[in-house]
A and B are shown apart, each in its own frame.
Chain A
Amino acid sequence: MTPLKDLNVVNPDQSTQTNSNLHGRIWDPVNECLNRETLVQLQTSRLKETLLRVYRHVPSYQKKFLQAEIRPEEVRSLEDLQRLPFTTKEDLRLSYPYGMFAVPMREVVRIHSSSGTTGKPTVVGYSRHDLQTWTELAARFMTAAGVTEDDIVHIAFGYGLFTGAFGLHYGAERIGASVIPMSSGNTDKQIMIMQDYRSTALVCTPSYALTVADRLEKSGIDPRSLSLRVGLFGAEPWSEEMRREIQERLGIVATDNYGLSEVMGPGIAGECQHRCGMHLFEDHFIPEIIDPDSGQVLPAGEVGELVLTTITKEAFPMVRYRTRDITRLDYSPCPCGRTSVRMAKTMGRSDDMLIIKGVNVFPTQIEEILFQVEGCEPHYQLVVERVGSLDTLEVQVEVNDRIFFDEMKKQRAFIDHLEKRFLSALGVGAKVKLVEPSSIPRHEGKANRIIDRRP
């Protein structure tokens, strides 16, 4: 194994050395910097244990494995994982609420739940050991993002069934930072607390970070007068353009992290200082990328749906869970010294992926272009129709002061410009239609911006 003296160990359990270098600190150098061979051994043995446990304790897994005619003992290598059936959100719903727990309830110490925008929510449980793991992994990615014991971490995720707030709360405490459990809402109060308590790290969704920026602007408060220096944003896909805007308007470093409650919550992956993808904690999760239509595993580097298998979770293990998030995995070395694979920013949901004239289009790509074209806030909606045998895409954009021109030729030129950008970026033409402000329905949380009228 790599000698540890080269690395910046910050976990008090591992060393007292707290020097910082160019590449930032590493919370758990032993486990974050395993060489591939050791990691594969570790993953294989943990995978085997997990499969044996779920087969024994979770009836729905046992049934699925029997149907696929595979017994856990037949899985001898990571490659064999492909032979196992997927787990989907639907499976979780069918076993609502506790059907997929792999331990008795007396060993479950925490319950969380996913948003459940369609039908029943999904319920997830944590054993005491699971919570410890979650806390450690949150400490890992928060350290990678640059949070230290000197930070005042302002958590503006809602505290409740949602995993976001608690995950980062305990991670920050573990690091030794000062945590402000602010919760969501009341932006004016959030800003007052940021000013008075001198919050240095902001935890929220990327869109809320922009809401804060808007409010600061409106109230005439210079963002630079605040103490904020870093943002840890997650829980929704966001574009590089959005990152640029947040960084510019709030004067902070904006980092991305990844998690979903069905698998654990935040702490599955997160960016280091180099921000070239999110380090995925492979000693706890095995990632695969599949073709969302065929279910086939794709070669390394290809874009597809992320599938995750948990290999240390006790209460709620997941085998080949289809996240529906579209991303890509990068196994090339990272200058920070962590050896784990890095996942790209999620590009959208496989459910949201539109195939227009045979071309894959994600709403996030459209959002990115709307951001690039100055002043255009992403209140938009996509309408897909079929005219004859041809698909058509219409992007409806709400007009605002900055993109409204009194002269028709300027207004037309703006629309033409947008249409050209869409064509070059998406590889498929889109018609831009300007609509009146507030005419596109707003959705709480995850926006549904697609209207597909194709038969």
Chain B
Amino acid sequence: MKVEQISIFIENKSGRLAEVAKVVGDAGVNIRALSLADTSDFGILRLIVDRTDIATAALKEHSFTVSKTEVVAVEVPDRPKGLFSILEILDRHGVNVEYMYAFVERCGANAVIIFRFDDLEAAIRVLTENGVTVLKGERVCSM
């Protein structure tokens, strides 16, 4: 039920993002989803890729600081208030969202949102109990 995400520290200067994309690309890895959190000095780039281990090894070889994090991919109805319906469930059950971002591909008629929770297990339980579809890791990586 969990998806592996890699986070990369990048300095906020020109060419760094391109360098990450090049290293990952040269390793034959395809990026499935990404999000960038940035400050004036640095950014944290989060990627979901088709082959996490290969991407991590390639980035480390190029002296990037990389960490792996587990996130949850959730199916969200692709209509007005679709996201609200999910967030409302989480809020009602006191589940904290650390950050979230949208997935590029759709899953059938639904959109996919990546969530990082402080308590992953509780979040998955709450979501599935409330009839929300949580996607499997392999599924997300091969979408």
Q: With A and B bound together, what is the CA distance between A107 and B46 in angstroms?
A: 69
Q: With A and B bound together, what is the CA distance between A405 and B10 in angstroms?
A: 12
- The reply to whether the CB of B84 lies closer than 8 angstroms to some CB of chain A is no
B116 close to A406 (CB less than 8 A): yes
Q: With A and B bound together, what is the CA distance between A401 and B11 in angstroms?
A: 15
Q: Which A residues between 408 and 444 are near B, CB-CB below 8 angstroms?
A: 408, 411-412, 433-439
User: Closest approach, in angstroms, between the C-beta of A363 and any C-beta of chain B?
Assistant: 21
Give the nearest-CB partner of A432 in chain B.
B41
Residues of A within 8 A of B37 (CB): 408
Give the nearest-CB partner of B37 in chain A.
A408
B11 close to A407 (CB less than 8 A): no
Residues of A within 8 A of B7 (CB): 404, 406
Q: With A and B bound together, what is the CA distance between A407 and B46 in angstroms?
A: 10
Residues of B within 8 A of A437 (CB): 63-65
User: Closest approach, in angstroms, between the C-beta of B44 and any C-beta of chain A?
Assistant: 6
B67 close to A407 (CB less than 8 A): no
**Known contacts A434-B9, A436-B10, A436-B11; A404 and B67 CB within 8 A of each other:** yes
- The reply to whether the CB of A113 lies closer than 8 angstroms to some CB of chain B is no
**Known contacts A406-B46, A407-B99; A399 and B9 CB within 8 A of each other:** yes
Q: With A and B bound together, what is the CA distance between A439 and B62 in angstroms?
A: 12
- The reply to whether the CB of B91 lies closer than 8 angstroms to some CB of chain A is no
Residues of A within 8 A of B98 (CB): 407
Q: With A and B bound together, what is the CA distance between A411 and B10 in angstroms?
A: 13
Q: A436 touches which one: B44, B46, B65 (CB < 8 A)?
A: B65
**Known contacts A406-B46, A434-B41; A401 and B69 CB within 8 A of each other:** no
Give the nearest-CB partner of B16 in chain A.
A436
B11 close to A404 (CB less than 8 A): no
Residues of A within 8 A of B63 (CB): 436-438
Q: Which A residues between 237 and 259 are near B, CB-CB below 8 angstroms?
A: none
- The reply to whether the CB of A364 lies closer than 8 angstroms to some CB of chain B is no
Q: B67 touches which one: A401, A408, A412 (CB < 8 A)?
A: A401
Give the nearest-CB partner of A409 in chain B.
B98
* Interface size, A (range): 10 to 19
User: Closest approach, in angstroms, between the C-beta of B25 and any C-beta of chain A?
Assistant: 19
- Interface membership of chain A positions 44-56, coded 1 if the CB is closer than 8 angstroms to chain B and 0 otherwise: 0000000000000
Give the nearest-CB partner of A434 in chain B.
B42
A439 close to B11 (CB less than 8 A): yes
User: Closest approach, in angstroms, between the C-beta of B38 and any C-beta of chain A?
Assistant: 9
Residues of A within 8 A of B67 (CB): 401, 404-406
**Known contacts A399-B65, A437-B65; A408 and B10 CB within 8 A of each other:** no
Question: Which of B9, B39, B65: most chain A Cβ within 10 A?
Answer: B9
Residues of B within 8 A of A436 (CB): 9-11, 16, 63-65
Q: With A and B bound together, what is the CA distance between A412 and B43 in angstroms?
A: 11
Residues of B within 8 A of A400 (CB): 65
Q: Which A residues between 35 and 83 are near B, CB-CB below 8 angstroms?
A: none
Q: Which B residues between 4 and 22 are near A, CB-CB below 8 angstroms?
A: 5, 7, 9-11, 16
B65 close to A435 (CB less than 8 A): no
Q: Which B residues between 97 and 124 are near A, CB-CB below 8 angstroms?
A: 98-99, 116
Give the nearest-CB partner of B6 in chain A.
A406
Residues of A within 8 A of B44 (CB): 405-408, 411
Q: With A and B bound together, what is the CA distance between A399 and B16 in angstroms?
A: 15
Residues of B within 8 A of A433 (CB): 41-42
Residues of A within 8 A of B65 (CB): 399-401, 404, 436-437
Q: With A and B bound together, what is the CA distance between A408 and B63 in angstroms?
A: 21
Q: With A and B bound together, what is the CA distance between A408 and B10 in angstroms?
A: 13
Q: With A and B bound together, what is the CA distance between A404 and B37 in angstroms?
A: 13
- Interface membership of chain A positions 379-404, coded 1 if the CB is closer than 8 angstroms to chain B and 0 otherwise: 00000000000000000000111001
Residues of B within 8 A of A405 (CB): 44, 67
Residues of A within 8 A of B39 (CB): 408, 412
Residues of A within 8 A of B64 (CB): 436-437
Q: With A and B bound together, what is the CA distance between A435 and B63 in angstroms?
A: 12
Residues of A within 8 A of B69 (CB): 406
29 A-B pairs (CB sep. < 8 Å): A399-B9, A399-B65, A400-B65, A401-B65, A404-B7, A404-B9, A404-B65, A404-B67, A406-B5, A406-B44, A406-B46, A406-B67, A406-B116, A407-B99, A407-B116, A408-B37, A408-B44, A408-B99, A433-B41, A434-B9, A434-B11, A434-B41, A434-B42, A435-B11, A436-B10, A436-B11, A436-B16, A436-B65, A437-B64
For the complex of A and B, the 7 pairs showing the least CB-CB separation, nearest first, are: A406-B7, A406-B69, A438-B63, A408-B37, A404-B65, A399-B9, A399-B65
B residues with a Cβ closer than 8 A to A are: 5, 7, 9-11, 16, 37, 39, 41-42, 44, 46, 63-65, 67, 69, 98-99, 116
A residues with a Cβ closer than 8 A to B are: 399-401, 404-408, 411-412, 433-439
Known contacts A405-B44, A434-B9, then 11 further A-B pairs from the complex at CB < 8 Å, ordered by chain A residue: A399-B9, A404-B9, A406-B116, A408-B99, A434-B11, A435-B11, A435-B42, A436-B10, A437-B63, A437-B64, A437-B65
